[in-house]
Amino acid sequence: MKDLIGHWREVNQANWDERVPIHLAGSFYDLPGFREKRDVLRDFEIAEVGDVTGRSLVHLQCHFGQDTLSWAARGARVSGLDFSGPAVEAARELAAELEIEARFVQADVYDAVTAFEGETFDLVYTGFGALLWLPDLTRWARVVSDLLKPGGFLYLSEFHPITNVLDDETGTVVTHDYFDEGAKVWDESGTYADQKAETKNNVSVSWDHTLGSVVSAIAGAGLRIEFLHEHENTLFPRYHDLEAGPDGVYRRPEGAPGIPMMYSIRASKS
């Protein structure tokens, strides 16, 4: 167990590398639909970030670049970074196919400043399911700050950590320790995009982070928190009673007690 945690980066990279072709071929990411629409951003992200026309944007942990290219389609000058070689190659191929100007770099997120040779950006964007792969949020937030120009800002949208505390079936009973931020080792075949997919590199290492840890890391890096918004919907049927709305997101049924299932943070650099 300790050996796996000590080699978390290599373990996770092998896991992700194997799953890239599964994600590209499956219905979860709906590449045919993306090729037509070229936009997978959530409405609240678009509203909270605002106009990105002509602004430089770097997307950390970008996978194969759908969100990155969505920002480019909205006028941003985009760069994406991911530690998975197959993901970066797929992102480059998708950008070329769609004739969208974008740059994609393979590197660990902690090495982003070096990977971009000290270049700074108007906006650092990071999206859903990214932070749980990072053991050190303080170090991550320093990287974000170093990537930002003065007057630039971080925009983070993530799944709310409270969802990991409640039972997986109903989301109504506290079954896990909210404050347990230690490494967790998983051995699971398949992927969230296709649970029945046959895979070999099934071990991964992740970390849950409290909302307080996220906010404190960002503030500790010298960034000014502009807002923290909590959202009572999510992007997939996290619990059995969630209902899909016409906007494609999932909510509790009418009259059921609400809980935050996603959150977003905007924080600026002086």
Could you list the mean pLDDT of each consecutive 10-residue stretch along the chain, which spans 270 residues? 86 98 95 95 97 98 98 98 98 98 98 98 98 98 98 98 91 94 96 93 97 98 98 92 89 90 98
- For the segment 96-155, what is each residue's pLDDT rounded down to a tens digit? 999 999 999 999 999 999 999 999 999 999 999 999 999 999 999 999 999 999 999 999
User: What is the pLDDT of the chain when averaged over all its residues?
Assistant: 96
pLDDT recorded at residue 4: 86
Complete DSSP assignment for 2-51: HHHHHTHHHHHHHHHHHHHHHHHHSTTTTHHHHHHH-----HHHHHHH--
pLDDT recorded at residue 2: 67
Return the structure tokens found at 206: 């992740």
Return the structure tokens found at 75: 């006028």
pLDDT recorded at residue 85: 98
Integer Cα distance of 37 and 35 in angstroms: 6
Q: Burial letters for 116-126: b for 16+ Cβ neighbours within 10 Å, e otherwise?
A: beeebbbbbbb
3-state DSSP assignment of residue 250? strand
pLDDT recorded at residue 254: 87
CATH no. for 2-268? 3.40.50.150
3-state DSSP assignment of residue 205? strand
Contact between residue 151 and residue 268 where contact means Cβ atoms under 8 Å apart: yes
- For the segment 78-102, what is each residue's pLDDT rounded down to a tens digit? 999 999 999 999 999 999 999 999 9
pLDDT recorded at residue 170: 84
Q: What's the pTM?
A: 0.96
pLDDT recorded at residue 3: 80
